[in-house]
Amino acid sequence: MWDSYAAAHPDAVRLCAEYSVERFGDSAELADALLREVIHGSKRATSTLAREFLDDGASLPRVGSHWIACDGEGTPRVILRSIELRLGTFNDADADFARDEGEDDLSLESWRREHRRYWQRTEAARGRSWSEDDPIVFERFRIAWTPAPAGIEPEAAGT
């Protein structure tokens, strides 16, 4: 998938050849549900605890970097490109960001409820506690490449 994207969009890759391969959420079911919202819905943002990048031995993403989003089984489905990044805390999330995350009812209240629950669960699984003061990476992205079935040109959202 990456090779096809790179061949079709060499300038985008030359500007930022960095990419990661990952999935949304902490379960196959959640990964599939959130990926569906990316591909067929309005999900154009995500938030990640900054220390998760450290846990994975990765640096923070940068504007222009790519990531290959996989489904719950780990199959690559779409290439995303970071278009905005900022570091903040739980209380720095606003209604616009909650809407762009495209989950639940799109409200800031549901964003706070569901992300609080998610980070409490995932940090407990790592043997840590979560705090609203923990640094969070707020990321907006766009779809850069969606592979198509054989014989059909892939859908690309540009570079």
**What would the pLDDT profile of 3-42 be if each residue is shown by its tens digit?**
999 999 999 999 999 899 999 999 999 999 999 999 998 8
Burial of 48 (0-12, 13-18, 19+ CB in 10 A): middle
- Both tokens assigned to 147: 């592979």
- Helix, strand, or coil here: 65? coil
- Both tokens assigned to 108: 């800031």
Contact at 8 Å (CB) between 137 and 45?
no
pLDDT along the chain (159 residues), means of 10: 94 93 96 96 96 92 96 97 98 98 95 98 97 98 82 48
Strands 66-70, 19-22: pairing is parallel
Is the torsion defined by CA of 21, 39, 62, 101 positive or negative? negative
Q: What is the reported pTM?
A: 0.90
Please give the pLDDT value at position 151: 45
Considering the domain 2-145, what is its CATH architecture?
Roll (3.10)
- φ/ψ of 22, rounded to 5, equals -155, 175
Contact at 8 Å (CB) between 12 and 79?
no
* Greatest pairwise CA separation for the chain in angstroms: 50
